[in-house]
Amino acid sequence: MVEKEILSNRLNTFREELKKLGQDGALITKRENYMYLSGFSGTSANLVITSKKAYLLTDFRYVEQSAVQAPLFEIVEHKPDIKDTILEILDSEGIKNLGFEDKSLTYSEYKSFSCKFRDIEMEGIGSVVESLRSIKDQYEIETITKAVEIADGAFTHVLGIIKPGITELDVAAELEYKMKKLGASGASFETIVASGLRSSMPHGVASEKKLEIGDTITMDFGALYNHYCSDITRTVFLGQPDKKMVDIYNIVLEAQLSSVRGAIQGKTGREVDKIGRDIIYGKGFEGKFGHGLGHGLGLEIHENPRLSPSGDKILKNNMAVTVEPGIYVEGLGGVRIEDTIIIRDDNPLVLTRSQKDLIIL
Ligand SMILES: [Mn+2]
């Protein structure tokens, strides 16, 4: 459970943002955002937050759980139509301007809300909560660290079972089983195991293909631990690899290490992306690294900031991001190496511990 003091800091910071936006109150509907602001982790809740009050509206199933997890909120079991209950609260609080999450509410939901709240001005608050979420507090850093440790443990385990004849799906199943045995509630996204020629597909999810001697094997996976994600990629070789793949591996590793070193507070996502991209392009692989260098992660697997050619956000202390350059050559194979790191003033805190030097099994 998230400590009350941490929840209080989050709520206060959000209220300051709301004040800056000139809103009397906000309606929070996106799951990761209500989890972050209230501490409640169930699947059904809406928050109404004003400068003084905070309400959590949920249904019968979650009344008890939400009261325990969200101590700063008044818990309200909503009527069959939640909009009726929200409107009662807005009226009783005298809300005239209501901020809402225009990036996640569907168009039909928005229409039904605005139709019901006729006398209230609804205005989108964009990614305000997501921006707050991009900087992790101590609870979040500890939780993400644990999620990363679990993924590291699964990687160590899988190195012992990889052999010719087993399928990519076998490898994925072992990774996911081990993560659960180590405390994860599940995988943070669909596990990628791409071997042999399939490794040139950056997001080749595990298939029935059998592993063979000489295969490049890229595994990209992560654990979900207390609702927080980790994300790791390692590429290993089964038997002696093709010389070209060894060269590619070393270039990707150099790009990854340099990018990690350069991922410090004050730089933009674009500047850090350029560090890895310049190394890869400089070695003649322009066009073979067609995705961003990395991304923020937390309650969601892909969050702000983005480390990519379009990443204009400035990196700040305690942001959790991935650094994952890769090179993909159709008809040959691909390599990607990914760590989860925490941004600092100088050297980032690299959470991922799994070996990055070339592994030949
Ligand atoms: Mn990733």
pLDDT tier at 16, thresholds 50, 70, 90: very high
- Determine the pLDDT at residue 130: 97
Q: What would the pLDDT profile of 238-278 be if each residue is shown by its tens digit?
A: 999 999 999 999 999 999 999 999 999 999 999 999 999 99
Contact 343, 209 (CB under 8 A): no
d(CA 233, CA 73): 39
Over range 125-129, report the average pLDDT: 97
Looking at residue 62, what DSSP letter applies? G
Looking at residue 319, what DSSP letter applies? B
pLDDT tier at 299, thresholds 50, 70, 90: very high
Residue type, 162: I
Contact 289, 281 (CB under 8 A): yes
Farthest CA pair distance, the chain: 72
Over range 292-298, report the average pLDDT: 98
Its CATH class, for the domain covering 4-133, is alpha beta
User: In whole angstroms, how far apart are CA 259 and each of 48, 108, 278, 300, 319?
Assistant: 41, 43, 10, 23, 15
User: In whole angstroms, how far apart are CA 34 and each of 40, 56, 259?
Assistant: 7, 9, 33
Degrees, nearest 5: CA angle 275-265-224: 85
Ligand 1 center–CA 29 separation, angstroms: 26
Degrees, nearest 5: CA angle 81-84-87: 145
Ligand 1 center–CA 324 separation, angstroms: 7
Over range 199-209, report the average pLDDT: 93
Contact 27, 47 (CB under 8 A): yes
d(CA 218, CA 245): 12
Percent of the chain with pLDDT over 70: 100
DSSP 99-138: EE-TTTS-HHHHHHHHHH-TTSEEEE-TTHHHHHHHB--H
Ligand 1 center–CA 321 separation, angstroms: 9
Phi, psi (5° rounding) for residue 242?
Answer: -55, 140
pLDDT tier at 190, thresholds 50, 70, 90: very high
Over range 146-163, report the average pLDDT: 98
When the pLDDT of each residue in the chain is averaged and rounded to a whole number, the result is 97
pLDDT tier at 303, thresholds 50, 70, 90: very high
CATH architecture of 135-350: Alpha-Beta Complex (3.90)
d(CA 192, CA 336): 11
Ligand 1 center–CA 242 separation, angstroms: 26
Q: Considering only CA atoms, which of 101, 226, 65, 173 is closest in space to residue 56?
A: 65
Ligand 1 center–CA 78 separation, angstroms: 38
DSSP 167-193: BHHHHHHHHHHHHHHTT-SEESSPPEE
Query: Does residue 203 have a pLDDT over 90?
Result: no
Residue environment code for 190-218, b if the CB has 16+ CB neighbours within 10 A, otherwise e: ebbbbbbbbbbebebbbeebebeeebbbb
Residue bearing tokens 């225009």: 102
Ligand 1 center–CA 320 separation, angstroms: 12
Ligand 1 center–CA 231 separation, angstroms: 5
Strand partners, 210: 167
Ligand 1 center–CA 151 separation, angstroms: 13
User: In whole angstroms, how far apart are CA 133 and each of 44, 241, 353?
Assistant: 20, 42, 25
Residue type, 295: H
Cβ-based burial of 245 (10 A; exposed 0-12, middle 13-18, buried ≥19): buried
For the chain, give every domain's residue range: 4-133, 135-350
d(CA 119, CA 222): 46
Ligand 1 center–CA 217 separation, angstroms: 17
Q: What would the pLDDT profile of 72-96 be if each residue is shown by its tens digit?
A: 999 999 999 999 999 999 999 999 9
* SS3 category, 54: strand
Report strand pairing: 320-323 vs 303-307. Answer: unpaired
- Determine the pLDDT at residue 1: 84
